[in-house]
């Protein structure tokens, strides 16, 4: 599965990871800076915030109540395409998913 990260200074990083990996795991395992993921992937810290580009944003499962509450507490502004990358598991439909990284996670 291909996943693309675009940092706030426009650095583009493309990674190839197995299906089932989360976007957060792809970033932390692939040395992408700009995703902190302090809690390790349980949607407890709101520090793996990403903005998911079209068309992928519409292919994601709906936001859970808990993720919704956490997204209200990210340090960078919440937008309509804000998600926590630890909650995005890569599937065939998401191959090529492109996410913009916010300026700050802390």
Q: Which positions touch another protein (CB under 8 A)?
A: 28, 31, 33, 36-47, 66, 69-70, 72-75, 105-106
- Residue closer to another protein, measured from CB, 8 or 73: 73
Q: State the minimum distance, in angstroms, from the CB of residue 64 to another protein.
A: 9
The DSSP annotation for the chain comes to -EEEEE-TT--EEEEE--TT-BHHHHHHHTT-TT---TTSSSSSS--SEEEEPTTGGGGSPPPPHHHHHHHTT-SSPP-TTEEEGGG-B--GGGTTEEEEPPS---
CB 22 to another protein: min, Å: 13
Closer residue to another protein (CB): 75 or 93: 75
């Amino acid at each position: 599965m291909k996943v693309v990260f675009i940092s706030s200074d426009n650095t583009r990083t493309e990674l190839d990871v197995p299906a089932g990996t989360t976007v957060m795991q792809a970033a932390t395992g692939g040395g992408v800076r700009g995703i902190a993921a302090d809690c390790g992937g349980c949607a407890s810290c709101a520090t793996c915030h990403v903005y998911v580009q079209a068309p992928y944003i519409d292919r994601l499962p709906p936001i859970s109540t808990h993720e919704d509450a956490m997204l209200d507490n990210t340090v960078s502004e919440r937008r309509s395409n804000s998600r926590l990358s630890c909650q995005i598991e890569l599937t065939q439909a998401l191959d090529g998913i492109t996410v913009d990284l916010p300026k700050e996670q802390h």
